[in-house]
Structure 1
Amino acid sequence: MKKYTQIFQGTAFSSKSPKEVEILKDCLFCLNDNGMIEKVIGPKDADYDALLNMYQNEENFYRLADGQYFLPGFVDLHVHAPQWAQAGTALDIPLYDWLNTYTFPIESKFADLDFAKNIYQDVVSTLLANGTTTALYFATIHKEASLLLAEICAEKGQRGLVGKVVMDNPEQNPEYYRDANTQTALADTEEFILAVKGLAKSTKQGVYPVVTPRFIPSCTNEALKGLGELAAKYDTYVQSHCSESDWEHHYVQDRFNKNDAFALHDFGLLRDKSVMAHCNFLNDDDADLFAQTGTAVSHCPISNAYFANSVIPIAHLHAKGVEIGLGSDISGGFSPSLFDNVRQAVISSRMLEDGVNTALPAEERGVPNSRITIDEAFYLATAGGGESLSLPIGRLTENYAWDVQIIDTTIASAKLPIYHTDEELHDIFQKIMYLARPENIREVWVQGEKVHTRNITQ
């Protein structure tokens, strides 16, 4: 019988499809040396009892306790790592004022590596504690601090995709916080890409460089063109903001006489490894272009409620074949938890479908067929994020990474209302998704390595 590096036994929830959760009851998850799931064996499978007898008394065998469940690790497709320092601040002011009063002054401080290290260590640890095993990060314009973030991800065991931000447009960026010039921005980006690719060679779970124009207004045409060329040269990921708000959407239309999607595509920035945040104002032509190029949308439902002037039609975009994952958008989104964003994704979709203006008749008030279920929102936070990044993550199935969070529903300070031993497992799943708090996340594993443990007294 084949030898496995580790075996985990317990009940897991994983996305079978964008609309359906698969319940893997009391399965054995068999891992290889690289932390990948080599085999999933159910109680009715031929090898189940033999494997159980062989491994259950070994040190590399892990059995969940009663009331504990496996969930895939969350994939956060949009985090501004430096903005963790301002999370929960001033979300009631306009985006332009928020950026210039709070965000740009904070981000400019990341020229100081000691300041950067303190915040970056904290944000990576915080996201891991909240079940986020993979994060797509915006850093700042500072090459050294951006590399430091990638190093911290590697050290703490999080799968980090990190971008040195480019902001070279003197008309749209403050003098105290922008790239010195276009040439420097592109040279620093190329050096950053090479450094992270070097770091990745010794990182089990993977770290990845990301070409990162902050958004079109922040960048000159020359920078956008150069970044597209770097993405192609090194086959890197690309991230930016796209058609987020009324102001940004109309700015791009005025500058290029086209929407963000087509402008970004002209510069080579829409590709299979591209993830664009927000995208609230995409029209059908934009969505078709995303689907054709393999560009994914990072849906940031909490942040959108504050800054996007709209609710994105997630169900419609998904129906058009656009890949979609979930993002916290720290700190435009106040919460580091994708549980909170899963819940808000469902709420926002219901508000879009039902409408909010009671002066209109019910049949005219909303956008039909806009709601998504908790199963669909869970998919966005897990498998949808993995597909958006073209990585084998976000599912608990064979040939996927063992990225998991162990949820304990019995924690005294955060006990979930599960009172019947025969309660339907899908109902338990729903209770976890709606009610779980950080205290319920007992352990987090990335690529077969334990990266977070919460003490019972916490």
Structure 2
Amino acid sequence: MYKFVVKGTAFSSSDSKNVTVLEDSLFCISESGRISAIISPKEKEYEFIIQEYSQKNKLQELAQGQYILPGFIDLHIHAPQWAQAGTALDLPLYEWLNTYTFPLEAKFCDLQFAEKVYSDLVSQLIKNGTTTALYFATVHRKSSLRLAEICSEKGQRGLVGKVVMDDHEQNPNYYRDATTDIALNETELFIQEVLELNQKTPQGVYPVVTPRFIPSCTDDSLKGLGTLAAKYDIHIQSHCSESDWAHSFVQNRFGKNDAFALNDFGLLTEKSIMAHCGFLSDEDMTLFAEKGTAVAHCPISNTYFGNAVTPIAKLLNEYQVEIGLGSDISGGFSPSLFDNIRQAVISSRMLEDGVDKDCCSGKRGVSGSSITLNEAFYLATAGGGESLSLPIGKLAVDYAWDIQIIDSKELPIFSENEPLMEIFQKLLYLSRPEMITEVWIQGRKVHDKTMNLQGV
């Protein structure tokens, strides 16, 4: 009836504010890699399922101190930038892009170099518990396709975009699309190639329409990309109102904010994920909610390049905008969404309380801005799944068996009766990559620390 059964205690978001504890539950996994049933110890078939699948040698029982979390969903990664992660983060965004980032990304015309970087990145993300990743690649179609192939081969659910940068005035000559027509033609071919690849990828690999951001694209390419996204009914990603410079650039060019400019080109849809969004107006937030467009919140990266704290609590609670977390490698130095969960809480509290000691406490911060650890966990899991409109990010029937198993033996847990929700908080605040013993995606084990298994 089931491919296998896992017995253990797990944590999963029931909504944006609450976490459900599934204590000593049986997770029954189908041949397709989805959760067919979750059986609690109180249900009558509980002991029968344990006995039956033990006899079949298809029962995995977690060791004491091990816990299950949903796999993380990273909504914003610049895959080529893994090669420069942790460097040059003290520079302004514009200087960082032109001095370091664009020269690096230009190297991905070399397929061997791309293979080396992308293969290592996907493996590292899996080891960090990231089961689904939304990637910017580069302007190069062949190496972008190779990233999608690596995701397919290693078992990660990947959403990959060939970046479009066709504006000759705003992009360096050594790194851009030669013409608008070439950019659009190569994008359409890439879409077709990845859709074909998806036919033999159980966990899914998806093409994504990817204008880098408005400053790098002409009006014709933006319009053409909106048309392609509609033609193939696929995801869209870009940057939106990220920094003072980028936000002002769009206002000067179009006389409106990024959100409305992107919408004019058909680039705000229910399959759109826009990164950063630190300068959204109330009107922009309303438009996002109406269109079903999601925000990729990148709290670590925003501390370096965002020039503001994105008002996540307002977006989530007041406007009901879909939101997930992004590492934004390499604007964000860490490949771990554990780190970004922590920073999301920290940044929200700084926005709530303010940072200028010389301003009176009543005016120093923005009231109602802080988010809880439960909400940050939701962003990294269920919120990401909802943003992508995919059945992932939750431990629930008909959702993919995308999980990470965490060993808590190194955490400060000294009582056998410690409340499980307190253990949950320690897992989120104190876990390190080496504590992730196993990672499963779509019912397939893709990482096993004890067997040194890392994809195939």
TM-score, normalization: structure 2? 0.98
> Residue in 2 aligned with 1:66?
64
Determine which of 410, 413, 419 is the counterpart of 1:424. Answer: 419
Deviation of residue 53 (structure 1)? 1.4
Query: What SS does the corresponding residue of 1:70 show, helix, strand or coil?
Result: strand
Aligned-partner Cα distance in 2 for 1:171–1:249: 18
Determine which of 178, 182, 185 is the counterpart of 1:184. Answer: 182
Determine which of 247, 250, 256 is the counterpart of 2:248. Answer: 250
> Residue in 1 aligned with 2:368?
369
Q: Deviations over 1:350-392 (max 9, x none)?
A: 0000000010111111000110011100000000000000000
User: What amino acid does structure 1 have at the position aligned with 2:225?
Assistant: L
Aligned-partner Cα distance in 2 for 1:437–1:154: 26
Q: Deviations over 1:238-293 (max 9, x none)?
A: 00000000000010001000000000000000001000000000011101110111
Matches within 5 A, 1:299-314: 299-314=297-312
Determine which of 63, 80, 83 is the counterpart of 2:81. Answer: 83
User: What amino acid does structure 2 have at the position aligned with 1:128?
Assistant: I
Deviation of residue 57 (structure 1)? 3.5
Matches within 5 A, 1:293-332: 293-319=291-317, 320-332=319-331
> Residue in 2 aligned with 1:387?
386
Aligned-partner Cα distance in 2 for 1:457–1:176: 40
Query: Is the CA contact (8 Å cut-off) linking 2:50 and 2:59 kept in structure 1?
Result: no
Deviation of residue 456 (structure 1)? 8.4
> Would you say 1:6 and 2:1 are equivalent positions?
no
> Residue in 1 aligned with 2:201?
203
> Residue in 1 aligned with 2:150?
152
Aligned-partner Cα distance in 2 for 1:228–1:6: 43
> Residue in 1 aligned with 2:443?
448
User: What amino acid does structure 1 have at the position aligned with 2:230?
Assistant: A
> Residue in 1 aligned with 2:90?
92
Deviation of residue 453 (structure 1)? 1.3
> Residue in 1 aligned with 2:398?
399
Deviation of residue 171 (structure 1)? 1.0
Deviation of residue 230 (structure 1)? 0.1
Aligned-partner Cα distance in 1 for 2:119–2:51: 41
Deviation of residue 58 (structure 1)? 2.8
Q: Deviations over 1:123-178 (max 9, x none)?
A: 00000000000000000000000000000000000000000000000111000000
> Residue in 1 aligned with 2:23?
25
Aligned-partner Cα distance in 2 for 1:457–1:401: 24
Aligned-partner Cα distance in 1 for 2:149–2:51: 41
The structure 1 segments of at least 4 consecutive aligned residues displaced by more than 6 Å after TM superposition are none
Query: What SS does the corresponding residue of 1:401 show, helix, strand or coil?
Result: coil
Aligned-partner Cα distance in 1 for 2:451–2:205: 31
Query: What SS does the corresponding residue of 2:221 show, helix, strand or coil?
Result: helix
User: What amino acid does structure 2 have at the position aligned with 1:312?
Assistant: T
User: What amino acid does structure 2 have at the position aligned with 1:133?
Assistant: T
Query: What SS does the corresponding residue of 1:53 show, helix, strand or coil?
Result: helix
> Where does the alignment leave 5 or more consecutive residues of structure 2 unmatched?
none
User: What amino acid does structure 2 have at the position aligned with 1:67?
Assistant: G
Determine which of 20, 28, 39 is the counterpart of 1:41. Answer: 39
Q: Deviations over 1:65-119 (max 9, x none)?
A: 0000000000000000000000000100111111111100010000000000000
> Residue in 2 aligned with 1:336?
335
Matches within 5 A, 1:257-268: 257-268=255-266
User: What amino acid does structure 2 have at the position aligned with 1:360?
Assistant: C
Count how many residue pairs are aligned between Structure 1 and Structure 2. Answer: 452
Deviation of residue 455 (structure 1)? 3.1
> Residue in 1 aligned with 2:224?
226
Aligned-partner Cα distance in 2 for 1:60–1:34: 16
User: What amino acid does structure 1 have at the position aligned with 2:174?
Assistant: Y
Aligned-partner Cα distance in 2 for 1:248–1:231: 24
Q: Deviations over 1:198-237 (max 9, x none)?
A: 0000000000000000000000000000000000000010
User: What amino acid does structure 2 have at the position aligned with 1:169?
Assistant: D
Query: What SS does the corresponding residue of 1:442 show, helix, strand or coil?
Result: strand
Deviation of residue 6 (structure 1)? 1.0
Deviation of residue 457 (structure 1)? 9.7
Aligned-partner Cα distance in 2 for 1:275–1:59: 42
Aligned-partner Cα distance in 1 for 2:403–2:302: 28
Aligned-partner Cα distance in 2 for 1:207–1:326: 19
User: What amino acid does structure 2 have at the position aligned with 1:152?
Assistant: I
Deviation of residue 11 (structure 1)? 0.1
